Structure 1
């Protein structure tokens, strides 16, 4: 997943633990990113994505983008999910450079798929290293994305060796978007391999149906199922159905969609997080992305209230006078937190050893951006005004937060790139987000500005 909803580990769970048809396929709106918000803010966001991609120029031209600035403590880690978003944001930019960069990143994902150090079955790992560093235990990691033996440099130091369905789905969506944009067969082939891996390794016949998490680093299947993951698969399988014309992808999309719809709580107007065993629904905490991504993938009027639930129950306003806030005096940021656990988080203890205490009103900018995009997609009365307000908050964060940070030890240009959170926040799933510039948050901001819906083909 892009974030675990069960007892497993995910991309998110290790952050803050102390260590020609392409535009149509993206469901783009009427303007480019620059036209929607003025030239400076989106352009600066794109420049941050470029800097993250070019952080290690001496270590090969086949490369992925580093996910977080160095200060996050993850060194040169490049998460598969984040890089899929960077591809989609670059395509949505409508620029020649964006198209070139998206193609290069897509080819890097294909390289990882073809040069995995242990498997030749279409999988991608949770994350890769893209530059050299010395790990906390003193061990050296000398390579770029491509190791000296030609294999992809899997992120073993942090244990980012598993293969999660959500990460795979987003990579497949990005490759599918590239196939539609460029007409290049290799991208569609890679996306199909991802879809087939998911079908072989994650489909479940448990009562709730759908698809399970994927496999851990030891290649052991994980039994829990995520609403978010299955929503991602609605997007991936729908895209593959359109690109290939294959009926099998429509059937697989329906299987994932049925799981998502079983997670709907009609009394509250929101989607639950998923299931730990495929039998019982996991009802707490309730995350933001299962409300927004479901709207982007499944624009059902019956479920449109999920956005109102997120906007009402997860709304936060981070100001300097909040306990544990790290924003400067005179600043304020409005948006949403990660889940229903955020507003009631324990502010007296850090989320993980060595980390700062959380701020209950910390804004999760990635989620704030996809809520803005989902509101723009729904287009109910007042939605556009609400979306613009959220985007303005993200742009203010790009201007004022995350100063003095670096990528590959090189200073990041000021006012470029969006931090993942305004202040330390507790997700409720055993990990936190912190004020470090982040390619994923920046990419979602650009998608929101461009009105580019990546989950609906």
Structure 2
């Protein structure tokens, strides 16, 4: 969430204690030219059904390792093995609730109960926190060490993702888990989900609140439980959504005060001359002015519905627009295909295409489409509903659906094949976020879930 003025760190990057992704872990997925000859299936309903099927498959990838389970975030080819990110699973809950089927509701409840299990069975803490990610199935790590358990370890504790260092706790991840649990509480009437969401909110208040000049709530803690110094616009936007839902459900006005505090920080990040929001601050005093990410432009629209700040959607749609086509230098898009959407940040569009994103990883394509962010934008356009917004949203959703049909072929979950044309890849080609990590053409729970939210016109940041 920081840029050139300080350390590189993001909610989607590692917040553990020194372990990183292995050199062989993240490489670009190859795609056969035959994909270009395949015809996408028609009908939005069919595309949605296949997306829901992918989320179900990610949740059921390890049937022999317990009924309490989370969804594996990426297909096996990503090199992250059975990693289940908390953020992705929160989105999977929200996406499952867009389904009218009983299976969708049952899966949302099961994932919510798994998050509650992780909250109640952390190996080291009993304070309401969740970790960045968990293991949900067995694997052998790159150094040869075995990871034999499912989501629930043999001792009954939640299986925290220590191998990759996914042991910290970010306010943004917690906020999304709280939003998912709050939504379950509203939809099911079950008190346990509200109790879990309140515990999350109280942890954020204790650990994140800051009295620094720019205010708001700070980033979270690393795997050693050391408080991180950054304050993120994205995280505080998430908190507008969470604290607003908690105020609605509990009728306790303290959550309105906390929501207002997060909102004040977000508004402090507004750049009126450019019509966009900055990414945050490293020290609570100085605003980071580069890079500028996509999600702080679209999620602010979803959370605030502010006419005064609605130009941020136009900024994302214009300044981060990309078109990935076969034949570009580092594109992995098969011949005859093209995808429109947005990149991750202003830095993605000027990434060094001569240098791999990280050691052992592929070189980035400046025009790589970030499909999760493209879905954010489609939903924000639909939420704003200005002239031309719906038509543009439909084009973006069509691009995502085409990617679901044609990209990420022959990938697996838990060693088992993923059904053809199910699940959206995180990026059309290797993409440098500008925040120290990349996205690649692997089918992804988070991207698929955001597609479903956009297709269903479901805004998770406003109850």
TM-score tier by shorter-chain length is over 0.9
Structure 2 equivalent of residue 332 of structure 1 = 338
Q: Say whether the 8 Å CA contact 1:16–1:352 is kept in structure 2.
A: no
Cα distance 1:37–1:225, how it changes in 2: closer, same or farther (>3 A)?
farther
Counterpart of 2:368 in 1: which secondary structure? coil
How far, CA to CA, are the matches of 1:147 and 1:72 in structure 2?
Answer: 24
Q: Deviations over 1:213-232 (max 9, x none)?
A: 00000000011100000000
Structure 1 equivalent of residue 162 of structure 2 = 156
Structure 2 equivalent of residue 359 of structure 1 = 365
Q: Deviations over 1:216-263 (max 9, x none)?
A: 000000111000000000000000000000100000000000000000
Deviation (angstroms), 1:64? 0.1
Deviation (angstroms), 1:323? 1.3
How far, CA to CA, are the matches of 1:49 and 1:141 in structure 2?
Answer: 23
Q: Say whether the 8 Å CA contact 1:204–1:210 is kept in structure 2.
A: yes
Q: Say whether the 8 Å CA contact 2:379–2:393 is kept in structure 1.
A: yes
Write the mapping of 1:33-182 to structure 2, written as runs, cut at 5 A. Answer: 38-182=44-188
How far, CA to CA, are the matches of 1:94 and 1:206 in structure 2?
Answer: 45
Structure 2 equivalent of residue 26 of structure 1 = none
How far, CA to CA, are the matches of 1:95 and 1:451 in structure 2?
Answer: 17
How far, CA to CA, are the matches of 2:7 and 2:78 in structure 1?
Answer: 24
Structure 2 equivalent of residue 435 of structure 1 = 441
How far, CA to CA, are the matches of 2:462 and 2:354 in structure 1?
Answer: 42
Structure 2 equivalent of residue 316 of structure 1 = 322
Deviation (angstroms), 1:38? 2.9
Deviation (angstroms), 1:272? 0.2
Q: Deviations over 1:331-383 (max 9, x none)?
A: 00000000001111100010100111000000000000010000000000000
How far, CA to CA, are the matches of 2:296 and 2:12 in structure 1?
Answer: 15
Deviation (angstroms), 1:282? 0.3
Counterpart of 2:130 in 1: which secondary structure? coil
How far, CA to CA, are the matches of 2:456 and 2:72 in structure 1?
Answer: 23
Structure 2 equivalent of residue 255 of structure 1 = 261
How far, CA to CA, are the matches of 1:323 and 1:12 in structure 2?
Answer: 26
How far, CA to CA, are the matches of 1:108 and 1:431 in structure 2?
Answer: 28
Write the mapping of 1:184-263 to structure 2, written as runs, cut at 5 A. Answer: 184-263=190-269
Q: TM-score, normalised by structure 2?
A: 0.93
Structure 2 equivalent of residue 276 of structure 1 = 282
Counterpart of 1:334 in 2: which secondary structure? strand
Counterpart of 1:398 in 2: which secondary structure? helix
Q: TM-score, normalised by structure 1?
A: 0.94
Structure 1 equivalent of residue 350 of structure 2 = 344
Cα distance 1:58–1:11, how it changes in 2: closer, same or farther (>3 A)?
farther
1:285 aligns with 2:285: no
Q: How many residues align?
A: 439
Q: Give unmatched runs, 5+ long, in structure 2.
A: 15-19, 26-41
Q: Say whether the 8 Å CA contact 2:376–2:454 is kept in structure 1.
A: yes
Q: Say whether the 8 Å CA contact 2:10–2:435 is kept in structure 1.
A: no
How far, CA to CA, are the matches of 1:269 and 1:87 in structure 2?
Answer: 32
Q: Give unmatched runs, 5+ long, in structure 1.
A: 20-35
1:13 aligns with 2:13: yes
Structure 2 equivalent of residue 297 of structure 1 = 303
Q: Say whether the 8 Å CA contact 2:8–2:435 is kept in structure 1.
A: no
Counterpart of 1:59 in 2: which secondary structure? coil
How far, CA to CA, are the matches of 2:413 and 2:192 in structure 1?
Answer: 31
Write the mapping of 1:392-407 to structure 2, written as runs, cut at 5 A. Answer: 392-407=398-413
Structure 2 equivalent of residue 411 of structure 1 = 417
How far, CA to CA, are the matches of 1:222 and 1:252 in structure 2?
Answer: 20
Cα distance 1:4–1:132, how it changes in 2: closer, same or farther (>3 A)?
farther
Cα distance 1:126–1:177, how it changes in 2: closer, same or farther (>3 A)?
same
Q: Say whether the 8 Å CA contact 1:37–1:449 is kept in structure 2.
A: no
Structure 2 equivalent of residue 29 of structure 1 = none
| Coordinate RMSD, CA, aligned | 1.3
Q: Deviations over 1:82-124 (max 9, x none)?
A: 0000000000122211100000000000000000000000000
How far, CA to CA, are the matches of 2:209 and 2:250 in structure 1?
Answer: 21
